[in-house]
Structure 1
Amino acid sequence: MSSLVENNIMEFRTTFQPVLDQDGFLINQDDLVCREISDLSLMVIRTSKDHKKNAITIKDIFNAELPESLSASLNDNGDNFLWISPDEIWLLHNRNNKDQLLEKFKSLPKGMSTTDSSGAYGILEFSGNNVDTLLSRWMSYDLEGSLTIGKVVSTTCGQAPVCIYRNIEGNLLMMVRHSFSHYVAGLLKDSAKRI
């Protein structure tokens, strides 16, 4: 029987492609740019109920701090660990490192598991001074005042559930289920014309 690593074939597929312009942007205007990130993959790590054990495991296996509630941590490889709930961490990583991560996942202790959710979500990156203005039209969460650097929040964009994360000032990542990609893209493109 062959292993998961041996059968792992990376293939990037997007549902945003039909709404991107010829240069690959969803939005590209002064002080507001939105593009799909195609070099990141998303792994979901289900943790145990033992917070201390989880912290030790994440440190030992991934050389990262276990993120606190509504926050993120980063390791030396540039992998982002996003807190989603008390028993769920999302790992955003470079898809070229997927084989190495799959090997590391074999070391997870009993009570912890992973799922590759790369095929379920698209990742949009927003940059520019008008990001908060655009997104605040469709989100009830206070992006400008409450979404500080390193903070992760599950919210909605219109009626679509999304996860947002501010990694640096003037930059924001949004994870959108592919089943909502055209809906979210329509809201964003239409609203960007009015800014």
Structure 2
Amino acid sequence: GDEDHLGDMDFKVAGTPDGITALQMDIKIDGITEEIMTQALAQAKDARVHILAEMAKVIDAPRAEMSEHAPRIITFKINPDKIRDVIGKGGAVIRALCEETGATIDIEDDGTINVASVDGAQGAEARRRIEEITADIEVDSVYTGKVVKIMEFGAFVNVLPGKDGLVHISQISDERVENVSDHLSEGDEVTVKVLEVDRQGRVRLSMKAVD
């Protein structure tokens, strides 16, 4: 600007009604007097107070909550052992998360996840899906999932992303079930209760145990 070419000093001051929080000065001469410095600070104070007063006419205090449409970064942690589940084979899972939610996801080695999004909805959806992927199936918990495969001895139900469990034919109904396909079809949405997760991670589910 002109101050860089024609002036002896470039002086910027930032602050609040209570005082100065930061200042920056470039000078093109050997030095300035105390009188000039005092005058510059006084002028800066008058300008700062005036600008803050005009801003207060529009909003006189910070908003209690950030706008839902404001860009933001959400930071949270997951079990480091679950990082590979979020990344997926060849990065397929995290790539799909970014493409489908519109968020940018960064994962650190200690399990810290930073989700950057242009609005709150994108960030919240990305976090929800990551927490689903990294969640552990808990015994006695009830889930709603989709039937992904029908077998003669029961049906496999997807209860969390990448996590399926078996509803044995004996756990479909209180009544005797002759054929699984008479009661269930692939794609059906069902509510199930977790009976057991064995040492190999196999999940036993029940439809009839749901209250």
Give yes or no for TM over 0.5: no
Q: TM-score, normalised by structure 1?
A: 0.27
- Taking CA–CA contacts closer than 8 Å with sequence separation of 6 or more, which of the two structures ends up with the larger relative contact order? 1
Q: TM-score, normalised by structure 2?
A: 0.26
Rg larger in 1 or in 2? 2
